[in-house]
Amino acid sequence: MFDRLFKKKPPSLEQQLRDLGAPGVRVLPEATPEALLKDWSRAQFDEAPYMLAVIALGGDLPPLSENLWHFDTECIEDHGAYVTIAERFRDLARGDLPLVEIEDYVDVEEGEARLSFKMDGAQHQWNCGVEDDWVDATVLSRLAELLSKRATEKRFTYLDTGGQDCVIGCFTDDELTRLRKVTGLDWRWLT
């Protein structure tokens, strides 16, 4: 009985959205509580404060944040899968990872996949490991490394959601510190 009396009430969805904007999550104007409540209930946002909010903001259709992406790691099914990943990383970095001429080749049945692109005039071509339809995590690490070598304070982050998905973000060190404090979630640098 006393546990319920002294249990801290979770922040409202509206408060979660305001709180996420403070440490640098770029919440788009379309990210209204009403938009998020089309797919989830208030009770679900109360059960997992901030976790469900960042998952919802990082969704694809439509994206509701400029620097979060809810990423399903079991997504490599055909041509274009690695292009989508590279484009999303480019977009999350908001100009600091200028990838162009992005192309890929994916043949899961033949066990062959590769990603190629240009950045600053230099051609990059990476062979990708193939394991069913799982992403080759080294591609994510290599994209993170490319950003870390640029003249920017931004770095890619990830939040493990406990399943086959994660939330990828792009933040400065100060933003990541504040994001961890505000949400209480275990955000990490993507390496």
What's the mean pLDDT in 43-70? Answer: 94
Return the H-helix or E-strand segment holding 85. Answer: helix 81-92
Please, what is the average pLDDT of the chain? 95
pLDDT band at 63 (very low <50, low <70, confident <90, very high): confident
Asked if residues 138 and 129 have their Cβ atoms less than 8 Å apart, the reply is yes
* CB-based burial label for 179 (10 Å; 0-12, 13-18, 19+): buried
* CB-based burial label for 163 (10 Å; 0-12, 13-18, 19+): exposed
Torsion over CA: 149, 152, 153, 159 (sign): negative
Q: Residue 5 pairs with which residues in a beta bridge?
A: none
Question: pLDDT tens-digit profile of 126-156?
Answer: 999 999 999 999 999 999 999 999 999 999 9
- 124 sits in the region (left: phi over 0; alpha: psi -120 to 50; else beta) called beta
